[in-house]
Amino acid sequence: MMDQESMNPSLYRPIQLGSLHVEGNLFAAPMAGYTDHVAREVALNHGANLAYTEMISAEALTRGSERTQRMMRRGKNEEILAVQLFGSNPERLGQAAQLAVQAGANLLDLNAGCPVPKVTRNGAGSALPRDPVRLKEILLAMAEAKVPVSVKIRRGWNELEGDYWETALQMAVEAKAVAVGFHPRSRQQGYGGKADWELLTKVVQESPLPILGSGDLRSPQDVHSMLSRTGCAGVMLARGAVGKPQLYSQCRHFLQTGESTAPLAPVEKLIMAKNHLESAIEAFGADRASRDMKKQLAGYTSGWNGSNVLRHELMQCPHAEDLLGLLDSAITKGSSSI
């Protein structure tokens, strides 16, 4: 338990994103290949206050891709549908924003932070802030859809070019964005090395907009530390919450009370995994679910002695029914035998 002097009961708090009131400041970050509508439902059920879609190609959306349109499906418990778009053409992003709002989006986010080469080679993702005029044009075009618009950025492109966050932040302010998600790594770093929370603190201090911090958030203590040390308005949990949706409720409890919750027993994690898998099968079909859910199952089946054996077996399963069978068997054995 934390001492009372180190506790700050206001760390878990509501956040206003333009016209949108969000009950708390624990967000599920947008992650390609992870945050489909079922995963978002799971995160929200376990305490996330808002969950973003996977990043959606403006080009594909405006060309009528049915698969891309399905990525904007609203979860059953999703009061705020937050759609993240990526691209580099202001006209396309403006059109995509309109289509997203027609599909029910309440909040739009521009991805200006993805470091993946297939995104950046076309001037999108973390390459976009290298052209601040274009960045501002895109944000203004998206704002024409008449819902709040935020933007996700990184610190810069690489060490040689230095940081671009100050210019990117200024463009966001001028375009009247409602918030900035900030990942304090460069494009060159990708997801390696250590996130620079000291820089995050500086960004918060210099920004008139709410800053949502991300990077190296794997525990309630990490979330408490980022909020208390940097002063950011909220946090975006990403890889640290994959297959660990209970992290949201654990973070909320820790921020409000300073007390840690008891860790889940292995069998509890397995039941959660099975429920998630069954929902994915219902939503996407057995083939896609068996393929896409393995990344989630790797997270669910970690953290106890012997879990690597079950995890390896799950990764080798070609079919959804085999995955369910393994999970059923492990659940039946109980936590003491896993």
- Residues 187 and 278 occupy one common structural domain: no
254-266 pLDDT, tens digit per residue, is 999 999 999 999 9
52 DSSP β-pair partners:
82
The confidence score (pLDDT) of residue 247 equals 97
The confidence score (pLDDT) of residue 10 equals 81
Pairing of strands 26-28, 149-154: unpaired
Q: What is the CATH number of the domain that holds 108?
A: 3.20.20.70
Domain boundary among 257, 288, 314: 257
Residue 3 has pLDDT above 60, yes or no: no
Residue 313 has pLDDT above 50, yes or no: yes
60-112 pLDDT, tens digit per residue, is 999 999 999 999 999 999 999 999 999 999 999 999 999 999 999 999 999 99
Instruction: Retrieve residue 132's tokens.
Output: 């601040």
Q: Is 251 a catalytic residue?
A: no
Instruction: Retrieve residue 21's tokens.
Output: 């009131």
Domain assignment present for 285: yes
Look up the domain containing 154 and give its range.
Answer: 15-257
Domain boundary among 257, 276, 306: 257
- Residues 66 and 157 occupy one common structural domain: yes
Pairing of strands 20-22, 149-154: unpaired
Domain assignment present for 271: yes
> Mean pLDDT over all residues of the chain?
94
Domain boundary among 230, 257, 284: 257
Instruction: Retrieve residue 15's tokens.
Output: 């956040």
Q: Please tell me the total count of domains within the chain.
A: 2
Which residue has 């203004």 as its token pair? 140
